Amino acid sequence: MIALLGTAAGTVLLVSAKAGFSSPTDRPVDPQAAGATGPVPSGSVPPPSSGPAPAGTMPPGNGGAGTMTTTAAPPAGGGTKTTSAPKPTTAAPKPPRTTMKDGTFGGNSVYVEYGNVELSIVVSGGKITDIKVLDSPSDHSRSVQINNSALPKLKAEALAAQSADIDTVSGATYTSSGYKLSLQSAIDRALRA
């Protein structure tokens, strides 16, 4: 049934093409632009012209071979239409802050081999003026001894560097690592505030 309908529709199109008929939507809007010398009566085909075939029509003499010539119509008014890209509606993100805001900022509690290391920083005039140790490994007497030696050195170096980019204290590798991580998180908070 579907094949029969397809064959019938194809036959009708082929006969229409051979006879030179075109649908009303294929006729040019302006017969003068298509090369006609007078008005085109409804239901008739405009006479052939020496210019290009109008959009959507079959060129004369091709015998309905299925080749269709399409010609783009010029825009109304004879000019070219220009379009511009839409403007973005979101504002550009603010650049990251380069100076720290004044105040006290706590760092993350960082677990190291023998316990936690947690710091807070005091910022004044955009600079770190003090670093307070809120927690450090203290479960073993050896940890307390190491930290009593290492923490003042780490503090002095961080205050001089004004960053967490400091050297590890020999013999206090774990404490130094936790100190740097907690210090960096406090600095990050001061920069985002």
Give CA separation, 72 vs 17, 34, 53, 60, 164, in Å: 21, 12, 11, 19, 67
* pLDDT classification of 93: cutoffs 50, 70, 90: confident
Q: Which amino acid is at 23?
A: S
Residue 5's pLDDT is 58
Phi–psi pair at 157, nearest 5 degrees? -65, -40
* Host H or E run for residue 84: none
pTM value > 0.85 = no
Residue 61 to residue 73: CA distance in whole angstroms: 23
Domains and CATH numbers, the chain: 103-192 (3.90.1010.20)
Cα dihedral: 137, 139, 143, 149 (round 10): 70
Residue 98's pLDDT is 80
pLDDT in tens, 126-147: 999 999 999 999 999 999 999 9
Confidence check: pLDDT of 159 > 80: yes
Q: List the structure tokens of 112.
A: 């190291």
> Of 108 and 27, which is predicted with more confidence?
108
Mean pLDDT of the chain: 76
